[in-house]
Amino acid sequence: MLLDRGRSAGKYFEWKIRLFSVGAVVALTGIYLDSRWVTGAAIVILMSGLLLRLLPVDPEDPDAEED
């Protein structure tokens, strides 16, 4: 099945959403201001949200992601 509703979103889901939101606003601001360093900062923020996926998850944690 393509969509598994029984699977949780993960332990750091809220942080991923927060970082994506901040990164998107910073990216749009950098594009509007035509500023390379602001756009670069947005890329760093978005990549940090991506790196949250690589953090180890405690298998005994009830909020842990199931595979």
Burial of 54 (0-12, 13-18, 19+ CB in 10 A): exposed
Q: Note the pTM of the prediction, 2 decimals.
A: 0.71
Phi, psi of 34 (to 5 degrees): 55, 50
* Whether the predicted pLDDT of 13 surpasses 50: yes
**How many degrees, rounded to 5, is the angle at CA 12 between CA 4 and CA 56?**
95
Share of the chain above pLDDT 90, in %: 54
Query: Which among 19, 23, 50 has a CA at the least distance from the CA of 38?
Result: 23
Please give the pLDDT value at position 2.
65
* Whether the predicted pLDDT of 9 surpasses 60: yes
